[in-house]
Amino acid sequence: MRNTLLNVVDLRKSFGALKVTDGINFQVLEGEIHALIGPNGAGKTTLIHQLSGNLKSDSGSVYYDGQDITRLGMAERVRLGLARSFQITSILEGFSVLENVAIAIQARSGSSFRFFKPAAAEDELNAEALGLLARVRLADRAQRRAGALSHGEKRQLEIAIALATGAKLLLLDEPLAGTGHEEGSILIDLMRSLRETHTLVLIEHDMDAVFSLADRVSVLVYGRVIASGSPAAIRNDPEVRAAYLGEEEAA
């Protein structure tokens, strides 16, 4: 049996009278790719913000690796290993691709690099950053200015930055949005390769990608998870088809 890495219990958030997440229950297992799908406005992004600690929940609980993290802020959650892949705006466009990753590693490591002589510390840092860039298939862009990357490459860099935080569980909000076919398939391959070492929770509207990539899928409708299961089970679930997939296919 796989370990439950994330357990979400009756999580709620309202904006004024609007109940955006309205009693969310679902579990993420260690080492899986878990996709959150649902119609526009279902509360997916709000839920990701509640999981990352960016947004305070009104009630309910979030357990990460058995620990109650409901009241922890974003930085504390990142330290425990739960990180949201940052928006493109958080990439430092004027710095090189390598520097962007090195800065994230340094932020994680605090002062641990000061035990090296400055030049050795820099070598050590750059070697680790290059290793992460290789994992996200950006090693050949290391010296390029981050602002000059294509849209898809920026998403790869964001994933490298999230990995640099030491994250075990990555929250990805629409990783494929705005990417072309070729960029999309690089990102899909990359996410698949991360499964060996990481757990991924992603919001995605591209159903072909979701059904080929995800181990399990949860469907959010009006702020509630109406079903969680394998892609095949979700595709054939009558309630899901009526509430969401049927509507997508008809569109």
Residues that bind ligand ATP (CB under 6 A): 15, 18, 20, 38, 40-46
Of residues 22 and 124, the one with the C-beta less far from ligand ATP? 22
Write down the residue that tokens 């892609």 correspond to: 231
Write down the residue that tokens 């030491």 correspond to: 166
Give the burial string for 210-238 (b: 16+ CB within 10 Å, else e). Answer: bbebbbbbbbbbebbbbbbeebeebeebe
Question: Measured from the CB of residue 175, what is the shortest distance to ligand ATP in angstroms?
Answer: 13
Contact between residue 218 and residue 18 where contact means Cβ atoms under 8 Å apart: no
Question: Measured from the CB of residue 174, what is the shortest distance to ligand ATP in angstroms?
Answer: 7
Of residues 142 and 201, the one with the C-beta less far from ligand ATP? 201
DSSP 145: B
Query: Max alpha carbon distance in the chain (Å)?
Result: 63
Rounded alpha-carbon distances, angstroms, from residue 192 to 45, 71, 80, 209: 22, 31, 23, 11
Comparing CA positions, the residue from 202, 193, 177, 103 lying closest to residue 146 is 103
Question: Measured from the CB of residue 231, what is the shortest distance to ligand ATP in angstroms?
Answer: 19
Question: Measured from the CB of residue 110, what is the shortest distance to ligand ATP in angstroms?
Answer: 32
Of residues 40 and 111, the one with the C-beta less far from ligand ATP? 40
Of residues 45 and 185, the one with the C-beta less far from ligand ATP? 45
**10 in the Ramachandran plot: left (φ > 0), alpha (ψ -120 to 50) or beta?**
left
Of residues 15 and 115, the one with the C-beta less far from ligand ATP? 15
Question: Measured from the CB of residue 173, what is the shortest distance to ligand ATP in angstroms?
Answer: 8
